[in-house]
């Protein structure tokens, strides 16, 4: 171990695991993170692996490469290339990260570099030339930046049918050849004296290499040991499937075959290189790996059962064969009689065939399920206190495996287990008893891993991760859903439980085409860019609220046919969803609360909430725009009870953004209107060219454009830095505008301006397009200020009718006030006079709700007034009136 690296690791181990100072060649009495006992130990001079001394009760072990990953990331920064050592970082990586003696590898590798242009990231690599032409290389500088791409073949590599051979391994002299997947695995075995070659991928059958090997050895061919990677999925992983396939094919070609497999513990995948670093490639260990391999390629249930029995010497146990669940129970008396009877018949059977036939005769092996259920992991929803075990059910035919959940109660009783199995899997029957089920669960649930869950889709602030359907993004790196339906992101295992909303995001960069941007500009102009900027900001709403404490709503209104639906449906496609929005008037408050909680850093679009007539009118009144106010700051504002014996409630945060799309302007309080960025679409700017562009936008498929969301969130750091840099300046500029008074309006529009700047990280926006969009946003802010200064349209209509009916040649007819500064009006009298003249007036209930908010003529009170216009016997009549202060510009005497 490198001296500097050794000092840093030792210092951290002493601090983090409470080891005692060095005692001879060992560090001892560290605290185990798994069982908590002071039983950890490791070698003092080379502390690569830490182990718990309670081998039977705990058995935890950790490699410093996993425990302190930051020390094994940027190799080219710590080991600079020199003229005398041009492969310094590559050599250091192979030595310290892989544990190899590089003196035996000299000349077989070089140090190169790789650049990912989309991520604008580069790294040094360790490169190995391949037979057939081309190369394979491992990325060695912070490879997590590149997601799952931690290694790569060059484009057009011709390695199919070949294998890679470690330098100095002479295949002419070997009696056995181990065939593994990776180059590092082959090196690890070779350094332990095991002749190993790398097939490079599990689906690469080394046909040409085997032909050459057969030529070298003639009739005395070596035995092939197939040792491809295992993923711990009980014969259902790609490596296991291909081992069985290649063993069958190789045997047909005259090769003697074995298999070797590493039994996974569920605490992270272990490969041959990991075993090399853990000193677990000795003869006693190889025996276990060959036994696991023999189980994998057993030809009959009885053969597999005997292998297990001979090793474990258990009288009964469950096991899998052919994607069915079997039970082995040996009655030695019946077995002996059956074998004796078969020997007496002298059918020429071999000893193994006699064993197999005798086991079948005494019914020692019986099927107890028509499929094979395997518990993969435990998942829990802490909010609702619900938990499940996630199972994969493999089927014996060509149907794909079924994956679903079982509750704790369902895995504790054979009857309940059988019911659940039959309900999730066509033809899935369990015929065993509860004792057999308990034995199966005991084996499968020991050390089972836990997967963290979220009950929404999108960005999880707690995990710093975007969960977007079948892909996830964290720190700019892309991850795909694994075969067990969750994301493995370093030490984080995470999945979404939400099933009612799906995103279909195409992660193939080559399929993404940003030519749509010019069509969006042609069809919708600057208003389209404002909407796009808001959509971009939506993807970072949680981060923006964390710094700015708020994020605005977007209102898209306009007459029918103006293009609102086309725009919103296309913007949804950029996020991987065929959708327009939800109608809040058709759901209950509880339903809307749940809907608002379904997304993180995604928009919640509300449509058609402006109904004001017909059968929907009464139902529409159930929706109040003021419900939206808490969403502006990231709160839903409504708690729901949790089923428990206590007083627990759950008030979910609002993680998304709000988009309102309808024909009419939102009719709401000032508090809501100030939170809105308002876009008004009409047909005045429509043209044949714009219509064609709009039609072209409709024809883009999600496969072509959904890469937008990945292009955006993978540039999270740059986009948020742009927001932080420009938003304060834009806000100050708007506050200085003479027509802007509302701080909230200035802040909202400044955020969208900064997001227009951030668009340049994702789409080819020009300087002219940005300037035009800034001008529009400034005008939108002014218009919004005027909108909140003005009276509600119903109030404006009321005063227009009042002035028309009140002022006549004979004087005022509706104003009862004797004070020249006031107006006193009786609403019943106002409505009666309007009806007399055939005028339609606003609803009485709307007037009662909105008149107190009158601004042009400020509402004072509702009281009895001595009328100046209704006189009886020379005295004014008392009338109940709404009293307002008259506009000074129109104040006059009676």
Residue-wise burial string across 11-26, b where 16 or more C-beta atoms lie within 10 A, e elsewhere:
eebeeebebeeeeeee
Instruction: Identify the band that residue 1 occupies on the pLDDT scale cut at 50, 70 and 90.
Output: low
Give the helix/strand (H/E) hosting 725: helix 716-735
Give the whole-angstrom CA distance, residue 434 versus residue 415. 8
Residue 171 is classified by DSSP as G
Judge contact between 145 and 119, C-beta under 8 A: yes
Give the whole-angstrom CA distance, residue 826 versus residue 836. 15
Give the whole-angstrom CA distance, residue 35 versus residue 891. 85
Sign of the torsion formed by the C-alpha atoms of 265, 429, 326 and 397: negative
State phi, psi for 142 to the nearest 5 degrees: 45, 60
Of 153, 450, 106, 138, nearest to 273 (Cα)? 138
> In the chain, what percentage of residues exceed pLDDT 70?
95
pLDDT at 610: 59
State phi, psi for 648 to the nearest 5 degrees: -70, 140
- pLDDT at residue 8 greater than cutoff 90: no
In this predicted model, what pLDDT tens digit does every residue of 579-607 receive, in sequence order?
888 888 888 888 888 889 999 999 999 98
432-446, 666-680, 842-856: which is most confident: 432-446
Residue with tokens 């079924």: 402
| Lowest pLDDT segment from 58-72, 240-254, 626-640 | 58-72
Tokens of 273: 């290189």
In this predicted model, what pLDDT tens digit does every residue of 130-157 receive, in sequence order?
998 899 999 998 887 887 788 999 988 8
Judge contact between 206 and 151, C-beta under 8 A: no
E-strand ranges in 581-654 read 599-607, 640-641, 649-650
Residue 663 is classified by DSSP as S
Give the whole-angstrom CA distance, residue 800 versus residue 49. 85
Residue 394 is classified by DSSP as E
Those residues whose C-beta lies under 8 Å from the C-beta of residue 332, and which sit 6 or more positions away, are none
Give the whole-angstrom CA distance, residue 184 versus residue 186. 5
**Neighbour count for residue 225 (Cβ, 10 Å):** 23
Angle at 183 between CA 179 and CA 189, to 5 degrees: 60
Task: Using DSSP bridges, classify how beta strands 655-662 and 553-558 pair: parallel, antiparallel or unpaired.
Answer: parallel
Angle at 129 between CA 123 and CA 133, to 5 degrees: 120
Tokens of 617: 């009118």
In this predicted model, what pLDDT tens digit does every residue of 545-563 receive, in sequence order?
999 999 999 999 988 888 8
Task: Find residue 862's DSSP bridge partners.
Answer: 882
- The pLDDT of 722-748, averaged and rounded, is 95
pLDDT at 276: 93
Instruction: Identify the band that residue 616 occupies on the pLDDT scale cut at 50, 70 and 90.
Output: very low
Q: Where are the domains of the chain?
A: 3-72, 160-297, 370-447, 452-496, 509-789, 793-890
Judge contact between 337 and 274, C-beta under 8 A: no
Give the whole-angstrom CA distance, residue 418 versus residue 224. 41
Give the whole-angstrom CA distance, residue 727 versus residue 749. 9
Radius of gyration of the chain (CA): 37
Give the helix/strand (H/E) hosting 532: helix 516-538
Cα 345 → chain centroid: 64
List the strands of the sheet with 176-180, edge to edge: 196-198, 176-180, 223-226, 257-259
In this predicted model, what pLDDT tens digit does every residue of 677-704 receive, in sequence order?
999 988 777 788 989 999 999 999 999 9
**Neighbour count for residue 871 (Cβ, 10 Å):** 10
Instruction: Identify the band that residue 893 occupies on the pLDDT scale cut at 50, 70 and 90.
Output: very low
- pLDDT at residue 489 greater than cutoff 90: no
Tokens of 732: 């100050």
> In the chain, what percentage of residues exceed pLDDT 90?
58
CATH class entry, domain 160-297: alpha beta
Judge contact between 429 and 421, C-beta under 8 A: yes
- 37 vs 518: which has the higher pLDDT: 518
pLDDT at 644: 65
Of 306, 406, 322, 414, nearest to 365 (Cα)? 306
pLDDT at 607: 87
Tokens of 639: 């708690």
| Lowest pLDDT segment from 27-36, 179-188, 398-407, 527-536 | 27-36
| Mean pLDDT for the chain overall | 89
Give the whole-angstrom CA distance, residue 362 versus residue 306. 14
Judge contact between 318 and 326, C-beta under 8 A: yes
- The pLDDT of 205-230, averaged and rounded, is 93
- pLDDT at residue 424 greater than cutoff 70: yes
- 611 vs 159: which has the higher pLDDT: 159
Q: What distance separates the 2 farthest-apart alpha carbons in the chain?
A: 136
- pLDDT at residue 846 greater than cutoff 70: yes
- pLDDT at residue 45 greater than cutoff 90: no
Residue with tokens 């060959």: 290
- pLDDT at residue 232 greater than cutoff 80: no
- The pLDDT of 823-851, averaged and rounded, is 92
pLDDT at 253: 94
pLDDT at 889: 45
Residue with tokens 């075969």: 483
Of 708, 764, 734, nearest to 535 (Cα)? 708
- 746 vs 638: which has the higher pLDDT: 746
Give 149's Cβ-side CA count (13 Å radius): 18
Give the helix/strand (H/E) hosting 750: helix 743-758
**Neighbour count for residue 410 (Cβ, 10 Å):** 18
Give the whole-angstrom CA distance, residue 665 versus residue 672. 12
């Amino acid at each position: 171990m490198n001296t500097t690296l050794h000092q840093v690791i030792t210092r951290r181990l002493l601090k983090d695991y409470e080891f005692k100072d060095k005692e001879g060649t060992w560090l001892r009495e560290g605290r185990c993170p798994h069982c908590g006992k002071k039983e950890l130990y490791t070698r003092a001079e080379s502390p690569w692996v830490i182990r718990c001394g309670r081998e039977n009760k705990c058995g935890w072990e950790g490699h410093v490469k996993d425990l302190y990953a930051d020390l094994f990331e940027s190799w080219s920064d710590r080991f600079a290339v020199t003229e005398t050592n041009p492969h310094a970082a590559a050599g250091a990586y192979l030595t310290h990260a892989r544990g190899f003696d590089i003196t035996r590898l000299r000349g077989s590798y070089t140090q190169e570099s790789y650049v990912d242009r989309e991520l604008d990231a580069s790294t040094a690599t360790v490169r190995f030339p391949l037979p057939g032409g081309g190369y394979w290389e491992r990325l060695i500088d912070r490879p997590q930046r590149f997601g799952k791409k931690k290694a790569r073949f060059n484009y057009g590599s011709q390695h199919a049918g070949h294998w890679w051979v470690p330098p100095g391994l002479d295949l002419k002299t070997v009696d056995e050849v181990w065939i593994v997947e990776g180059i590092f695995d082959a090196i690890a075995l070779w350094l332990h004296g095991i002749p190993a070659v790398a097939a490079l991928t599990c689906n690469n059958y080394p046909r040409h290499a085997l032909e050459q090997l057969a030529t070298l050895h003639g009739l005395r061919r070596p035995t092939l040991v197939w040792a491809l990677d295992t993923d711990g999925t009980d014969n259902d992983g790609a490596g296991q499937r291909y081992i069985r396939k290649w063993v069958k094919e190789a045997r047909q070609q005259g090769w003697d075959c074995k298999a070797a497999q590493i039994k996974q513990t569920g605490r992270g995948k272990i490969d041959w290189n990991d075993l090399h670093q853990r000193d677990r490639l000795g003869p006693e260990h190889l025996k276990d790996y060959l036994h696991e391999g023999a189980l994998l390629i057993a030809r009959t249930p009885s053969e597999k059962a005997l292998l297990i029995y001979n090793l474990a010497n258990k009288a009964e146990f469950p096991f899998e064969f052919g994607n069915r669940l079997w039970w082995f129970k040996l009655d030695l008396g019946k077995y002996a009689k059956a074998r004796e009877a078969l020997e007496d018949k002298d059918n020429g059977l071999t000893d193994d065939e006699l064993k197999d036939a005798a086991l079948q005769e005494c019914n020692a092996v019986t099927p107890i399920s028509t499929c094979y259920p395997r518990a993969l992991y435990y998942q829990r929803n802490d909010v609702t206190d619900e938990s499940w075990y996630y199972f994969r059910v493999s089927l014996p035919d060509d149907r794909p495996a079924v994956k679903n959940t079982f509750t704790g109660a369902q895995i504790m009783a054979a009857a309940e287990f059988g019911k659940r199995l039959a309900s999730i899997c066509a033809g899935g029957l369990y015929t065993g008893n509860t004792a057999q089920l308990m034995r199966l669960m005991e084996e499968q649930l020991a050390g089972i891993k836990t997967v963290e869950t979220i009950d929404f889709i999108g960005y999880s602030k707690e995990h710093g991760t975007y969960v977007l359907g079948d892909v996830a993004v964290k720190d700019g790196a892309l991850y795909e859903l694994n075969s067990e339906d969750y994301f493995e992101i370093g030490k984080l295992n995470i999945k979404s439980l939400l099933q009612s909303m799906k995103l279909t995001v195409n992660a193939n960069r080559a399929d993404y085409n940003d030519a749509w941007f010019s069509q969006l500009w042609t069809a919708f102009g600057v208003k389209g860019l404002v909407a796009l900027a808001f959509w971009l900001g939506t993807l970072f709403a949680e981060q923006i609220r964390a710094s700015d404490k708020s994020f605005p709503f977007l209102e898209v209104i306009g007459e029918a046919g103006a293009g609102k639906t086309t725009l919103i449906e296309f913007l949804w496609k950029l996020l991987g969803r065929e959708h327009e929005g939800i109608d809040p008037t058709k759901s209950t408050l509880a339903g809307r609360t749940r809907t608002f909680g379904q997304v993180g850093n995604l928009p919640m679009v509300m449509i058609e909430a402006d109904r004001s007539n017909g059968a929907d009118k009464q139902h529409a009144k159930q929706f109040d725009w003021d419900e939206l106010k808490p969403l502006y700051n990231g709160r839903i504002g409504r708690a729901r009870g949790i089923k428990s014996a206590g007083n627990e409630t759950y008030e979910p945060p609002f993680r998304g953004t709000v988009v309102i799309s309808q024909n009419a302007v939102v009719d709401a309080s000032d508090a809501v209107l100030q939170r809105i960025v308002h876009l008004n679409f009409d047909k005045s700017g429509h043209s044949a060219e714009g219509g064609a562009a709009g039609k072209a936008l409709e024809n883009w498929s999600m496969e072509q454009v959904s890469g937008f969301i990945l292009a955006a969130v993978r540039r999270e750091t740059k986009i948020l830095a742009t927001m932080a840099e420009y938003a304060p300046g834009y806000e100050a500029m708007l506050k200085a505008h003479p027509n802007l008074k509302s701080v909230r309006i200035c802040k909202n529009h400044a955020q969208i301006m900064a997001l227009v700047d951030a668009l340049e990280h994702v789409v080819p926006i020009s300087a002219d397009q940005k300037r035009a969009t800034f001008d529009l946003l400034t005008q939108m802010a002014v218009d919004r200020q005027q909108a909140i200064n003005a009276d509600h349209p119903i109030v404006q209509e009321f005063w227009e009718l009042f002035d028309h009916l009140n002022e006549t040649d004979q004087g005022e007819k509706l104003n009862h006030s004797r004070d020249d500064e006031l107006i006193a009006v009786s609403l019943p009298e106002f409505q009666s006079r309007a009806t007399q003249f055939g005028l339609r007036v606003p609803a009485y209930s709307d007037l009662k709700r909105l008149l107190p908010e009158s601004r042009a003529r400020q509402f004072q009170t509702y009281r009895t007034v001595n009328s100046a216009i209704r006189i009886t016997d020379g005295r004014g009549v008392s009338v109940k009136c709404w009293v307002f202060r008259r506009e000074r510009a129109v104040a006059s005497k009676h």
